């Protein structure tokens, strides 16, 4: 991809129709659609994704994983499909969003055309030629524009290929006047005069774009940015000019200075000549070139590589900090656990991992490991990492065998007096609470360009403790409730359904308060992480915004067991390589310190969200409610275990630390 930056100062050697079938030396590179052997060296733009997300192991697993004995995640090929798999929804919504955006833009341009009607046409030379003819004809907006680049041996379908002057009209200020009217020499008509415009790449993403103040896409979108650079190189060869920028169009955008109103509010900018970013000194164009070559290497040589017992290539080390690893999340975890992967450790990214391996540090459970050796710096990260390493030191195994409580360190928690009282002394009433929620992914796009979809707290679980203990049956009866645990699930994903859940939850807490004759100031909500207060009252489009006449009393306290206790001390548990509730609780359960543990069901909150969307779809068809379906019972059990595990962890720490 170095050639792409060269195209900014030099006209590509081969342009126009010939650029579809010939490289820059004029050598024909045009495999037939069905020539599988020839296509092995060609890479689609989307295949650069995993390299740019620092998780190239996934590419190797996709090609060679099953032959090497690794198994795809169970829900991938499930029949019927797993209700906990969110990918199907995201894929469908992504396609629908693209269609919706194109329909919005159609009336705003004088001419438009759609080239490809499916992924099957992305390898078609005829489709690529139709793209060029549309460009030469001056069509203002070309959807699913198929492109080929024999120089890089890349291909794909661009969501929107826009004429520069039309883009300047559609998004005022995005292209300066000089750039908008820059000619495209290879699109000259029969008279030899190039048109006073060129084409630029716009890729549509069903995501909220994170932008800098000047509109550049953040490093979290590197994989999107890399894709549009691949397309831009192909378009540069077609038209004889390389545009200065390519663009991303998302559902909306956010930055440190504000938040967008919808999809057509602002584009995200991708600079072709950007040399470096805050996160990388390597120009993105160079990284994209490496990503392309990586895919070729995987196909050509990957059968001779191995991930176990240790990776035979540095690229086969898993990046456990990168999610979106389906359908290989289980295989990736197996590799990480077997090799003692270092990125499991808090604060250790792939760069620090690679540097550690170069110094001979191979496993996270090596006895002399320290934050200093791993290069982890900062005010809080080294201290937290040191606790995790100490809790998982090999010598801990013998200590835990002799005394299970040794699984938790430190041996004594001592905070400043006010902080110590805040966590250690149980309040008269404590409500251990966990929310399950949906985001706005179920958008039907009827409100485009505005963002639609139902943001909804669809389930609340609430476990009661009185003075730090489980209520008696008599106390439950006095409060008029069947047990110490209450849970409410929305009938449907709607404002009304959410309101019923919130009202029932508050009524449950109020019943306990009244039964014990205590004020709200003697009660508090215990939660793990900021998720619950953010969803309820602190974040954009929170429940308080959706229900302005609903609130909890100001006197009711909040206690974040993660931030105000586990992180603050910090607390380490053998078997936990981080501070998530599941890791901490599973480590303590394995040591026999608490009794609650998770069973089958959703793996996490995203799985619960996927189940809620599927339940909503089925309830809409049946006229019933979300709770009618068995898989929602598994979500309910998952939610209850979260509440009980949190309660047991804090209770054990109060009694023993």
Q: Is residue 600 pLDDT above 80, yes or no?
A: no
> Which pLDDT score, from 0 to 100, does residue 75 have?
72
Partnered with residue 527 across adjacent β-strands are 560
Which residues are CB-neighbours of 366 under 8 A, at least 6 positions away?
Answer: 340
412 token code pair: 């004594």
What average pLDDT does this structure show over 441-450? 96
**Cα–Cα distance list, 429 to 350, 503, 524 (Å):** 44, 19, 7
- The mean pLDDT of 198-226, rounded to a whole number, is 96
pLDDT tens digit sequence for 316-333: 999 999 988 999 999 999
The whole-angstrom separation of Cα 546 and Cα 456 is 9
Q: pLDDT, tens digit, for every residue of 254-264?
A: 999 899 999 99
The model's pLDDT over 83-142, given as tens digits with 9 standing for 90+, comes to 988 988 999 999 999 999 999 999 999 999 999 999 889 999 999 999 999 999 999 999
Residue range 333-351, pLDDT digits in tens: 999 999 999 999 999 999 9
User: What's the angle, vertex CA 426, arms to CA 472 and CA 577, rounded to 5?
Assistant: 105
Work out the number of other CB atoms within 10 angstroms of the CB of residue 202.
25
CB 149 within 8 A of CB 214: no
C-alpha 49/C-alpha 441 separation (Å) is 22
Query: pLDDT-based confidence at 656, cuts 50/70/90?
Result: very high
User: How sure is the predictor about 539, in pLDDT bands with cuts at 50, 70 and 90?
Assistant: confident
Measure the CA–CA gap between 644 and 648, rounded to whole angstroms. 6
CATH numbers and ranges of domains, the chain: 2-41+86-274 (no CATH), 308-395 (no CATH), 417-656 (3.30.420)
Q: Which residue has the higher pLDDT, 79 or 15?
A: 15
pLDDT for position 276? 58
Average of pLDDT values for 213-233?
A: 95
- Look at residue 80 in the predicted model and tell me its pLDDT: 83
pLDDT at 599: 80
Mean per-residue pLDDT, 486-495: 97
Alpha carbons 324 and 397: distance in angstroms, whole number: 33
Rounded alpha-carbon distances, angstroms, from residue 155 to 5, 145, 186: 18, 11, 20
pLDDT score recorded for residue 119: 87
| Residue 318 pLDDT | 98
> How far is C-alpha 589 from the chain's CA centre?
29
Question: pLDDT tens across 542-563, in order?
Answer: 999 999 999 999 999 999 999 9
- Going by C-alpha positions, the residue among 385, 387, 433, 440 that lies closest to residue 410 is 387
Q: How large is the average pLDDT for residues 376-386?
A: 96
Q: What is the largest CA-CA distance in the chain?
A: 94
What are 524's two structure tokens? Answer: 């508090």
**From residue 414, how far is each of 389, 419, 568 by CA, in Å?**
20, 9, 11
Q: What integer pLDDT is reported at residue 540 of this predicted model?
A: 86
pLDDT at residue 410 greater than cutoff 90: yes
Strands (E), 425-576: 429-438, 456-466, 485-489, 523-527, 557-560, 572-573
Count CB neighbours of 95 within 10 A: 12
| pLDDT score of 601 more than 90 | no
What value, to the nearest 5°, has the Cα angle with vertex 111 and ends 106 and 117? 65
pLDDT reported for residue 288: 95
- pLDDT at site 279: 56
| DSSP letter assigned to residue 535 | I
On average, the pLDDT of the chain sits at 95
For the chain, the residue count is: 657
Neighbours of 19 (CB within 10 A): 27
pLDDT at 241: 97
How high is the pLDDT of residue 77? 73
Dihedral angle over CA of 439, 434, 598, 364, nearest 10:
80
Tokens of 406: 């040794």
| pLDDT of 28 strictly over 90 | yes
């Amino acid at each position: 991809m170095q050639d792409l930056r060269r195209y900014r100062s030099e006209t590509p050697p081969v342009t126009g129709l010939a650029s579809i079938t010939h490289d820059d030396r004029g050598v024909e590179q045009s495999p037939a659609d069905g020539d599988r052997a020839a296509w092995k060296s060609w890479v689609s733009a989307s295949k650069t994704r995993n390299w740019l997300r620092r998780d190239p192991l996934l590419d190797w697993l996709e090609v060679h994983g099953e032959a090497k004995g690794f198994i795809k995640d169970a829900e991938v090929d499930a029949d019927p499909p797993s209700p906990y798999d969110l990918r199907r929804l995201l894929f469908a919504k992504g396609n629908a969003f693209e269609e919706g955006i194109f329909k919005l833009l159609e009336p705003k341009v004088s001419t438009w055309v759609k080239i490809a009607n499916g992924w099957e046409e992305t390898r078609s030379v005829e489709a690529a030629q139709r793209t060029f003819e549309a460009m030469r004809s001056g069509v203002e907006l070309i959807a699913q524009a198929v492109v080929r680049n024999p120089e890089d041996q890349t291909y794909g379908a661009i969501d929107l290929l826009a004429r520069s002057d039309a883009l300047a009209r559609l998004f005022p200020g995005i292209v300066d006047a000089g750039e908008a009217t820059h000619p495209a020499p290879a699109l000259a008509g029969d008279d030899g005069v190039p048109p006073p415009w060129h084409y630029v790449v716009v890729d549509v993403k069903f995501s909220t774009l994170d932008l800098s103040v000047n509109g550049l896409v953040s490093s979290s979108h590197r994989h999107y940015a890399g894709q549009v650079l691949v397309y831009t190189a192909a378009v540069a060869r077609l038209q004889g000019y390389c545009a200065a920028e390519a663009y991303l169009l998302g559902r909306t955008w956010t930055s440190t200075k504000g938040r967008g109103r919808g999809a057509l509010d602002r584009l995200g900018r991708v600079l072709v000549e950007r040399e470096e970013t805050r996160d990388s000194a390597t120009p993105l164009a160079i990284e994209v070139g490496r990503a392309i070559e990586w895919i070729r290497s995987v196909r050509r040589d990957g059968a001779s590589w191995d991930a176990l017992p240790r990776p035979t290539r540095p690229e086969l080390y898993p990046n456990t900090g990168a999610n979106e690893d389906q359908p290989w999340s289980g295989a990736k975890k197996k590799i990480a656990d077997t090799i003692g992967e270092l990125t499991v450790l808090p604060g250790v990214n792939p760069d620090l991992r690679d540097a550690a391996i170069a110094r001979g540090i191979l496993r996270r459970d090596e006895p002399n490991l320290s934050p200093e050796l791993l290069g982890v710096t900062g005010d809080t990260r080294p201290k937290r990492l040191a606790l995790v390493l100490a809790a998982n030191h090999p010598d801990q195994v013998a200590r835990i065998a002799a005394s299970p409580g040794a699984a938790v360190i430190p041996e004594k928690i001592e905070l400043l007096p006010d902080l110590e009282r805040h966590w250690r002394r149980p309040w008269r009433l404590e409500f251990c609470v966990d929310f399950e929620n949906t985001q706005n992914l179920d958008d039907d796009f009827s409100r485009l360009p505005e963002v639609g979809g139902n943001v909804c707290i669809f389930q609340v679980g609430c476990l009661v403790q009185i003075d730090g203990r489980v209520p008696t049956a008599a106390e439950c009866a006095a409060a008029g409730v069947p047990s110490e645990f209450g849970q409410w699930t929305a009938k449907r994903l709607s404002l009304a359904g959410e309101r019923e859940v919130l009202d029932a939850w508050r009524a449950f807490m109020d019943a306990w308060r009244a039964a014990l004759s205590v004020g709200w100031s003697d009660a508090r909500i215990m939660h793990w992480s900021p998720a619950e207060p953010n969803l309820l009252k602190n974040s954009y489009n929170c429940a308080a915004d959706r229900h302005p006449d609903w609130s909890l009393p100001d006197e009711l306290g909040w206690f974040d067991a993660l931030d105000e206790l586990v992180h603050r001390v910090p607390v380490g548990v053998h078997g936990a390589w981080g501070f998530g509730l599941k890791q901490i609780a599973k480590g303590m359960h394995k040591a026999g310190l608490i009794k609650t543990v998770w069973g089958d069901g959703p793996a996490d909150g995203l799985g619960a969200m996927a189940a809620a969307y599927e339940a909503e779809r089925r309830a809409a068809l049946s006229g019933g409610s979300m709770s009618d379906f068995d898989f929602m019972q598994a979500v309910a059990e998952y939610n209850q275990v979260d509440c009980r595990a949190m309660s047991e962890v804090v209770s054990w720490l109060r009694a023993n630390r």
